[in-house]
Amino acid sequence: MSKPANLPQQLDLILRQAVALQQNGAFAEAEELYREILELKPRHFDALQLLGALALQAGRVQEGVEFLRRALAINAKQAPLHSNLAYALNALQRFDEALVSADRALALQAKFPDALNNRGNAQAGLNLPREALVSFDRAIALMPDFAQAWNNRACVLRDLGRPADALASCDQALALQPNYPDAWSNRGNALSDLNQPDEALQSYQRALEIAPAFADAWNNLGLTQIDLNDHAQALQSYERALSVNPAAAETHWNRSLCLLQLGQLEAGWKEYEWRWERSRIKAGRRSFAQPLWLGDFSIEGKTILLHAEQGLGDTLQFCRYAAMVSKLGAKVVLEVPGELMRIMSTLDGVDQWVEAGQTLPPFDCHCPLLSLPLAFRTDIARIPAKTPYLFTDPQATREWHKRIAAQAQGRLKVGIVWAGGNRPHVAELRKNDARRSITFERLAPILDVPNVQFFSLQKGPAALQLPRDDSHPNVVDYTEELEDFADTAALVANLDLVISVDTSTAHLAGALDKPVWILNRFDTCWRWMLERTDTPWYAQARLFRQPALGDWDSVIRNARDALAALSAAEKPVAH
């Protein structure tokens, strides 16, 4: 070994060789030399930072973070190192830390496009899309040909509900870098948001021509194939995505929805368990010391907690399994949201009800409501289809009876719901909510049917669409008096029919065994399966489906014709 006096020159020589190798793409050889330098001098700043950059290039992100942190411990005044660290932490989804690193880079060098881009990605990861947009815009102002920033900007514009602007941003990225697979895939996402599935399909295919192992693009292609009613192709796309990334929770989830839509229930329920790995649902996962029961051990003599998850409609639909659980000899504790407590108290097979958020009694095992079909190996023939399984309060029902009969004066009594819940803070739900809901105005042809008295059952912001003047005297609105689902049920019990978009009220009517007509979007929720006008879940439900994405006119026309026929068949009752 050379004398220490020569060490600096020796290290410089090795470093120059290593940098030359790295620049010529000989990464493994460069890495070997950097490691040799660190054996001779463990705190060699340049070797540490270059090795960190090399590890990031090779996709060894955690290792890259460690080298960069070691370099920063020697010299924390280098903005590019903080920016690289932010990039690496974003890749590990450690967005809080990434934001701190990006901010440190920008404190050292305010006009640093890379750091602004990494900062935007951290903010997007922390669900701060407005702040992220400011960061990307600043990066682009400094460096207008920064294709990555244009592409990332498109993602947050979608999150902000601005798909047309997102599309323009992708096009800008692609003008700068035509073979940029992420930008092609994001362009497809924007087109999908704009309900242009044919064009979206072409963008995903372009992304996959450039990068055949791009799992996200395969997954997104599958979603668009469902918008085009090509479920068999969608399943193949999901398989391709999973062959690249077998642990992709979103793809398993999409595959489960596709299998359930196709009526392949047993395979679908198994995949549906992947919902708990999805970042959006993971936070709501309950961690109990007691084991999860999926039908895999005897629960005779045990106490089982069944707990609601996801939406109110899901709870209304799947609470029916409580009686089956009870028949296995278990004591059933059911936990549900407050607005469902009173209506759920009429459910058979439950020993104790607990309002969500209240203290739970002791129990031996638990099962989320939407895992019960898996526990009971439910296929189409074995759906517990007996209705009603929820019941109304007799006293409240009698009180509504008088008022509704007086209002209807012998006409057909029809409840209407035109919009589901609106969850604008979650991109995927915002899209579904927008697709499943309509405006009150769209119902006009149905409201023109003679010999019908309509009752609004619409709650939430969309209820304000009902004009407060006398322009619709045939629509009565008692919703101010409906505090919870038991109140709504007592009113619904006195109606002849409920016409609703796919929302919790439709499930309530179904569970009460009332006739319910569901105005359904083309990319239907999995529970309604495909091409059926009936459903094995509710005996008295009838589905009016869009024949193509966004085609509400046909749905409204068909429902109007059916209502006109029903109204004509019902002879007015003389008073």
Say whether both 426 and 485 belong to one domain.
yes
Give the count of beta carbons closer than 10 Å to the beta carbon of residue 428. Answer: 12
The per-residue pLDDT string of the chain (575 residues; one tens digit each, 9 = 90 and over) reads: 444 557 788 778 887 887 887 888 777 888 787 787 777 788 878 888 788 888 888 888 888 888 788 888 888 899 999 999 999 999 999 999 999 999 999 999 999 999 999 999 999 999 999 999 999 999 999 999 999 999 999 999 999 999 999 999 999 999 999 999 999 999 999 999 999 999 999 999 999 999 999 999 999 999 999 999 999 999 999 999 999 999 999 999 999 999 999 999 999 999 999 999 987 777 778 889 999 999 999 999 999 999 999 889 999 999 999 999 999 999 999 999 999 999 999 999 999 999 999 999 999 999 999 999 999 999 999 999 999 999 999 999 999 999 999 999 999 999 999 998 776 666 667 777 888 999 999 999 999 999 999 999 999 999 999 998 878 889 999 999 999 999 999 999 999 999 999 999 999 999 999 999 999 999 889 999 998 999 999 999 999 999 988 899 999 999 999 999 999 987 654 33
Select from 382, 404, 425 the last residue of a domain.
382
Select from 327, 359, 382 the last residue of a domain.
382
Say whether both 441 and 514 belong to one domain.
yes
Beta-sheet strand order (sheet of 365-368): 352-355, 331-336, 303-307, 365-368
Question: Quick one: pLDDT at residue 472?
Answer: 85
Say whether both 412 and 476 belong to one domain.
yes
Q: Alpha-carbon distance 193 to 162, whole Å?
A: 9
Say whether both 413 and 550 belong to one domain.
yes
**What is the Cα 572 distance to its own chain's centre?**
46
500 part of a folded domain: yes
Question: Quick one: pLDDT at residue 45?
Answer: 80
Say whether both 496 and 350 belong to one domain.
no
> Is 84 in contact with 53 (CB distance < 8 Å)?
yes
536 part of a folded domain: yes
Question: Quick one: pLDDT at residue 49?
Answer: 77
State residue 322 phi and psi, 5-degree precision.
Answer: -55, -40
9 part of a folded domain: no
What residues are paired with 334 via a beta bridge?
A: 306, 353
Q: What is the DSSP letter of 442?
A: G
Burial status of residue 472 (CB atoms within 10 A of its CB: 0-12, 13-18, 19 or more): middle
Question: Quick one: pLDDT at residue 29?
Answer: 80
485 part of a folded domain: yes
14 part of a folded domain: no
* Predicted TM-score (pTM) above 0.75: yes
Select from 348, 382, 416 the last residue of a domain.
382
Residue type, 59: G
Question: Quick one: pLDDT at residue 573?
Answer: 47
Say whether both 445 and 564 belong to one domain.
yes
Question: Quick one: pLDDT at residue 281?
Answer: 79
Q: What is the dihedral of CA 466, 502, 538, 263, to 10 degrees?
A: 170
78 part of a folded domain: no
Domain CATH for 340: 3.40.50
Say whether both 543 and 428 belong to one domain.
yes
Q: Alpha-carbon distance 553 to 517, whole Å?
A: 16
Say whether both 350 and 233 belong to one domain.
no
Closest CA to 121 of 92, 141, 143, 142: 92
The number of domains in the chain is: 3
238 part of a folded domain: yes
Tell me the HSE value of 120 on the side-chain side, using a 13 A CA sphere. Answer: 26
Residue-by-residue DSSP string for 388-431: --S---HHHHHHHHHHHHHHHTTSEEEEEE------TTSHHHHH
Tell me the HSE value of 139 on the side-chain side, using a 13 A CA sphere. Answer: 26
Say whether both 329 and 452 belong to one domain.
no
Domain CATH for 433: 3.40.50.2000
Question: Quick one: pLDDT at residue 58?
Answer: 80
Say whether both 408 and 448 belong to one domain.
yes
Domain that holds residue 229: 212-282
**What is the Cα 420 distance to its own chain's centre?**
15
508 part of a folded domain: yes
Say whether both 227 and 350 belong to one domain.
no
Burial status of residue 340 (CB atoms within 10 A of its CB: 0-12, 13-18, 19 or more): buried
Give the count of beta carbons closer than 10 Å to the beta carbon of residue 110. Answer: 12
Q: Please list, residue by residue across 534-546, b when 16 or more beta carbons sit within 10 angstroms of its beta carbon and e when fewer do.
A: ebbbbebbbbbbb
Kindly list the distances between the CA atom of residue 515 and the CA atoms of 305, 355, 383, 539, 575, in Å, as whole numbers in the listed order.
Answer: 32, 29, 19, 8, 25
Domain CATH for 258: 1.25.40.10
Say whether both 514 and 411 belong to one domain.
yes
